[in-house]
Amino acid sequence: MIRFNEPPFLGTEVEYIADAIRQKHIAGGGKYFQLCCGFLEQSFGADFVRLTTSGTDALEAAAILCDIKPGDEVIMPSFTFVSTANAFVLRGARIVFVDVRPDTMNLDETKIEAAITEKTKVIVPVHYAGVSCEMDEICAVAKRHGLFVVEDAAQGIFAEYKGKSLGTIGDIGCYSFHETKNISMGEGGALLVNNPALRDRADVICNKGTNRADFARGLVDKYSWTDVGSSYLPGDLNAAYLYAQLLDHEKIEKKRKDIWNRYHNAMIPLAEEGLLETMCVPDHCEHNAHTYYIKLASAGQREELMKYLSQRQIVSAFHFVPLHSAPAGGVYGRFCGEDVYTTKESDRLLRLPLHYNLTDTDADAVIGAVRAFFGR
């Protein structure tokens, strides 16, 4: 069977975990926490990175940092994971969904301004499939209206927009290291605070609302409760696993890119025949091969192809049922403007298996099955 996803395992993770155990500090904020934060700061030229217990928790910390109050509005695409919305809903925000662009499935930057009201506080661009949103335009709209930009870069590690790492462009960036992401630690994430004015509170929020981080640095002689916060620091065994993967990230990336290119080169002729649509990566975006998807003619045809692949032991997957159409979507949010593309395009999107352990033979079997489905 060709699985849709398998978490990468390089072998070196075990040594780092053993070392973490020997440090006799396996709670949050230990040796590997520091190493991972430092590695990410250096790799991305970011000033402030903190590992978190998940991408979801990084988004929750971001919502606290933006000081979201009940009734505040947050703009985001409906085509995203539930955590993008929930993180802000937990603070009492109303979610305002804006349509996506059909080419990248990212927030349509031209439709944001019409969704802004006096209550709007944050815009959340989600970099779908590790392909960047149009950040120049989004940050310009945010600046005109005095709004924060929180990048949901959960799928965007090591991807770039005009040479800048995703997650470092808005006021705050959030990564995920869930086992389905390119680089993983089981459950985990990272919070990047790019706006210096927001930085002071970040350590406190991640440390259960205490100034424990200052205490650990010897800046205060005891620590106390200073703000709201939660338990957002991952244990050091998980951080050690992540550190091994970060050190070897190029190996993981190369493998994923090779498979991505193999799929893409094989799908282009089918697209030229008008049988399907391929993924689109704008020239100024450097993607990270997080996902390879195609678009079929309709939801019905997508279902047929999924079934066809599954009969050949190949697991494929659709993505994100739009949040505004989910049971909680109408309770906590509303769609602003017309849903021209969100539902229509997400209905016909299909992701092909893509992971570190996938062989060329596996990829060719997937390609062969897609071709055969179309009688090619």
Ligand X SMILES: *Cc1c(COP(=O)(O)O)cnc(C)c1O
Question: What residue ranges bind ligand X (CB under 6 A)?
Answer: 54-56, 80-81, 83-84, 126, 152, 154-155, 176, 178, 189
192 vs 369, which CB is nearer to ligand X?
192
Residue 154 · residue 175 · CB < 8 Å: yes
263 vs 320, which CB is nearer to ligand X?
320
Smallest distance, ligand X to C-beta of residue 317, A: 13
- With H, G, I as helix, E, B as strand and everything else as coil, classify residue 114: helix
Smallest distance, ligand X to C-beta of residue 176, A: 3
Smallest distance, ligand X to C-beta of residue 100, A: 13
| Residue position matching structure tokens 């978190």 | 52
Smallest distance, ligand X to C-beta of residue 335, A: 18
51 vs 204, which CB is nearer to ligand X?
51
Token pair in block for residue 37: 């934060």
Residue with smallest beta-carbon separation from ligand X: 55
223 vs 318, which CB is nearer to ligand X?
318
174 vs 294, which CB is nearer to ligand X?
174
Q: How far apart are CA 344 and CA 194, in angstroms?
A: 35
30 vs 234, which CB is nearer to ligand X?
234
Dihedral sign, CA of 158, 201, 51, 77? negative
Q: Which amino acid would we find at residue 296?
A: L
CA 325, distance to chain mean position in Å, is 21
Give the start-end residues of each E strand in 186-342. Answer: 189-193, 285-286, 293-295, 333-335
Smallest distance, ligand X to C-beta of residue 191, A: 12
Smallest distance, ligand X to C-beta of residue 329, A: 16
83 vs 207, which CB is nearer to ligand X?
83
Q: In degrees to the nearest 10, what's the CA dihedral of 274, 349, 104, 144?
A: 140
Q: How far apart are CA 134 and CA 130, in angstroms?
A: 13
Q: How far apart are CA 355 and CA 61, in angstroms?
A: 29
- With H, G, I as helix, E, B as strand and everything else as coil, classify residue 179: coil
Token pair in block for residue 247: 């050190």
Q: How far apart are CA 66 and CA 142, in angstroms?
A: 13
Q: Give buried/exposed letters for 46-59 (b at 16+ CB in 10 A, else e).
A: bebbbbbbbbbbbb
Smallest distance, ligand X to C-beta of residue 368, A: 29
Token pair in block for residue 366: 């997937």
Smallest distance, ligand X to C-beta of residue 125, A: 10
55 vs 235, which CB is nearer to ligand X?
55
Smallest distance, ligand X to C-beta of residue 270, A: 27
84 vs 288, which CB is nearer to ligand X?
84
| Residue position matching structure tokens 């869930």 | 178
Residue 321 CB burial class (10 angstroms; 0-12, 13-18, ≥19): middle
